[in-house]
Structure 1
């Protein structure tokens, strides 16, 4: 219970700093109704997590005061609506230039990603290529796991899709991901389940012995 309460208090502190800007320990203590010592304990934890930093502010009179402010790393903790902006922009592009231009945009993105990641997979045995692809996708938020149920066959699962809402409307995004997998793995890859089409996850079957 104490851990839950501490976590809740830290969320409140982060929200205060997000909405009100840099604050002193005294300011936070008064707003939360807890001691400055308790506030500092929470701030120390948040600072160790890389979510806060301190800044020395000089006063016209008296001693300088330390204020706390959020770091760039804390930005990921707050809600984002990027998918709505992306869909709006893609919709405008389709209206002005046609759906084929949207498809070309996804194709160009696929080509850039292949160029960026080829060095991480090229020249490796297939299991190592699959692990490299899993590392790439995990770094991008796809929550990957994979297994080899039998010789020459691998199952690659993505439990999250950061672009699922975009892919639901623009299926070519999924086609590009499949093409990227085939190119980076240099293997036969089949998608058997897709989050953007209502599946519980994205599942790929990979065949190859190279």
Structure 2
């Protein structure tokens, strides 16, 4: 754990290394939990909110994070600041697939059309489907399957988590409609999928097969979203 005083030490090798290490940890928490407040990042890392804000200011200046203003629950008062990882920050965290893959797909598309690209995307996800299915197990509970899928994705480096959303009951006895959202904060195929959305589409189809329900993509990193969000309908409570 690093104290706030570390930030005020003279510029020297070990201190610079500590700053950089802590800053990378701050960036990783924003990736996993964004949109997230400085206070929440501090709780996660054992730092004060003030110390975290200094790191976030640097990350914001260099373009690794972006600030979102979020209104309170009742819409009153000043909006609070929440942080998300920018596209530049995604690159800093390691979108390290080979550029030759993009060039190869461009040549394939030119020679054989987009259907050939879709075949490549479909084969890519078919290659991991059985491994994902084995990790999810045999449970028939959709919530458990959704959480297990997010766990597999997180282990694969997609910084995945699950959020439960739903329409709150109005006290009229009607059941509450619930849903889960699988959020992926990182994608090593992000730049590739920006040119070839077939990869996002085939991944969505994979999720639907694994969960056994129709799912819907609400946002993706390649199209400018801060996370890839997949909506999973859970039914009524």
- Common topology (TM > 0.5): yes
Residue in 2 aligned with 1:5? 13
Taking the aligned partners of 2:94 and 2:152, their CA distance within structure 1 comes to 24
1:132 aligns with 2:140: no
Query: What are the within-5 Å matches in structure 2 for residues 9-48 of structure 1?
Result: none
Q: Which has the higher helix share?
A: 1
1:169 aligns with 2:191: no
Instruction: From 145, 153, 160, give the equivalent of 1:144.
Output: 160
Taking the aligned partners of 1:178 and 1:99, their CA distance within structure 2 comes to 18
Partner SS, residue 6 of structure 1: helix
Residue in 2 aligned with 1:117? 132
Q: TM-score, normalised by structure 1?
A: 0.59
Does the 8 A contact of 1:188 with 1:208 survive in 2? no
Taking the aligned partners of 1:186 and 1:78, their CA distance within structure 2 comes to 32
Partner SS, residue 123 of structure 1: coil
CA shift in 2, pair 1:117/1:95, >3 Å = same
Residue in 2 aligned with 1:180? 206
Q: TM-score, normalised by structure 2?
A: 0.53
Taking the aligned partners of 2:115 and 2:204, their CA distance within structure 1 comes to 19
Partner SS, residue 160 of structure 1: coil
Instruction: From 104, 107, 116, give the equivalent of 1:89.
Output: 104
Taking the aligned partners of 1:78 and 1:142, their CA distance within structure 2 comes to 11
**Structure 1 residue 80 displacement after superposition:** 7.1
Runs of 4+ that moved beyond 6 A: 77-80
**Structure 1 residue 81 displacement after superposition:** 4.9
1:155 aligns with 2:181: yes
Taking the aligned partners of 2:126 and 2:100, their CA distance within structure 1 comes to 23
**Structure 1 residue 129 displacement after superposition:** 1.0
Partner SS, residue 145 of structure 1: strand
Q: How many residues align?
A: 145
Q: Which has the larger radius of gyration?
A: 1
Structure 2: runs of 5 or more not aligned: 1-5, 19-91, 167-176
Taking the aligned partners of 1:7 and 1:133, their CA distance within structure 2 comes to 40
Partner SS, residue 161 of structure 2: strand
Q: Deviations over 1:136-167 (max 9, x none)?
A: 11122211121223454112211111111000
1:106 aligns with 2:114: no
Structure 1: runs of 5 or more not aligned: 11-76
